[in-house]
Amino acid sequence: MAHAPVMSTSKYVMIWVWLAGLMLLGVALSELPIAPRTIFLLVLGLSTVKAMLVAAYYMHLRFDDRLLTMVALSPVPLVMVLVIALLLDKPHFLH
Amino acid sequence: MAPLVYCVSMTHPPLPAGPTVGRLGLESGKLGMWLFLVSEVMFFAGLLSAYIVVRAAHPAWPGSDGHLSVPVGTINTLILICSSMTMALAVGAADRQDARQLRLFLAATITLGLVFLGVKAFEYQAKFHHGIGPHTNIFWSCYFVLTGVHGLHVLIGALANGWVLARTRGDRFWATQRHLVELSGLYWHFVDIVWIFLFPMLYLI
């Protein structure tokens, strides 16, 4: 806490505007006549960007020690292995 | 700023006067919370992976069949994102030792969290009213498990924030325990991130 950087209120609000905007963009994209798999990738890509914004600015990873970022990212390779290993059972989903 | 205490003795260390810092130079509480969140990521990754695989394997995915309202889900998502902002503002207020704003933003965060749960309860009640439950089909089984587990996390986060809010009345909090706001906030933001993935997977895709 002692080292927690304090962003200005306007910056916190700006991050919220980005989060809300990206969320509404995802809702709009889901209504477009696009292939379901493309929408799946687009919407989950937007979710990943939003998660990174929350982690970087609201959870202060951008300003904290990089070791904490490494701790936070440590499950990502494990999750990737988990998802890929499970989807290998359904190869048609990957094509 | 709360003073930092470095652990230099293995025997009878003095009572900490603020967040303790370990040999890695990180606040122990913050590192511990992040390690806990890592385990939570794996927990939800397992659930979401199972959902994706079950969905990919199903020959005719039933989906919500029009029984999930995207506008209601969108508004609820905005509410949770708002609560993340107020939580971040609460952490900033604690750092500035602004008691009034800290209590205001913590109370707002708790309220928004409870509103989110209220909307979820309304959605659940509507489903039950239409005879839809976890037993209906595989989609609704996944829906109730995923949103139920997430809702439980929101409730725990609101209780944690309420506990921190109650402690702000004491002098000890301002002397040595302000870092609790940040720890509670980390958990709250994580709950927000989980919903950021759950909402599109259940409502949009």
A1 has pLDDT over 50: no
Please give the single-letter amino acid code of residue A32: L
Which of these ranges, A7-11, B107-111, B120-124, has the smallest mean pLDDT? Answer: A7-11
Instruction: Determine the structural domain holding residue B154 and report its residue range.
Output: 30-204
In a domain, B25, yes or no: no
In a domain, B21, yes or no: no
- Report the CATH number at residue B157: 1.20.120.80
Report chain B's mean pLDDT, rounded to a whole number: 89
Size of interface A-B (CB pairs under 8 A): 151
B23 has pLDDT over 80: no
In a domain, B1, yes or no: no
The answer to whether residues B45 and A79 touch, using CB atoms and an 8 Å cutoff, is yes
The arithmetic mean of pLDDT across residues B32-47, rounded, is 94
| ipTM field | 0.88
User: How far off is chain A from B136, nearest CA to CA, in Å?
Assistant: 24
In a domain, B5, yes or no: no
Q: How far apart are CA B205 and CA B196, in angstroms?
A: 13
The answer to whether residues B21 and A58 touch, using CB atoms and an 8 Å cutoff, is no
B148 has pLDDT over 90: yes
Between these two residues, B186 and B176, which has the higher pLDDT value?
A: B186
Chain B contacts of A18, Cβ < 8 Å?
A: none
Q: Which residues pair with B5 in a beta bridge?
A: B20
A61 has pLDDT over 90: yes
The arithmetic mean of pLDDT across residues B157-166, rounded, is 97
Helix (H) or strand (E) holding B55, with range, is: helix B28-57
The answer to whether residues A40 and B197 touch, using CB atoms and an 8 Å cutoff, is no
Overall domain count for chain B: 1
In a domain, B10, yes or no: no
The arithmetic mean of pLDDT across residues B86-107, rounded, is 95
Q: Which of A16, A87, A90 sits opposite B82 (nearest CB)?
A: A16
Of all residues in chain A, the percent with pLDDT exceeding 70 is: 87
Q: What pLDDT is recorded for position B176? A: 83
Of all residues in chain B, the percent with pLDDT exceeding 70 is: 91
Chain B contacts of A64, Cβ < 8 Å?
A: 30
The arithmetic mean of pLDDT across residues A72-91, rounded, is 84
Q: What pLDDT is recorded for position B158? A: 98
The answer to whether residues B105 and B89 touch, using CB atoms and an 8 Å cutoff, is yes
Contact A79 B92 (CB under 8 A): no
Q: What pLDDT is recorded for position A6? A: 64
Q: What pLDDT is recorded for position B194? A: 97
Taking only the tens place, the pLDDT of each residue in B47-70 is: 998 898 888 888 888 888 889 999
Alpha helices in B58-203 (DSSP H): 70-95, 99-129, 138-167, 171-176, 179-199
The arithmetic mean of pLDDT across residues A63-68, rounded, is 90
CA proximity to B27, closest of B66, B57, B1, B61: B1
Q: What pLDDT is recorded for position B9? A: 45
A91 has pLDDT over 70: no
pLDDT band at B16; cut points 50, 70, 90: low
How far is residue B149 CA from its own chain's centroid?
A: 11
Contact A87 B53 (CB under 8 A): yes
The arithmetic mean of pLDDT across residues B173-191, rounded, is 93
In a domain, B38, yes or no: yes
In a domain, B7, yes or no: no
Q: Record the tokens describing residue B163, joined without a space.
A: 């506990």
Q: Please, is B87 exposed, middle or buried when counting C-beta atoms within 10 Å of its C-beta (0-12, 13-18, 19+)? A: buried
In a domain, B74, yes or no: yes
Q: Which of B46, B85, B185 sits opposite A13 (nearest CB)?
A: B85
Which of these ranges, B6-20, B76-90, B118-132, has the smallest mean pLDDT? Answer: B6-20
Chain A contacts of B179, Cβ < 8 Å?
A: 1-2
B10 has pLDDT over 60: no
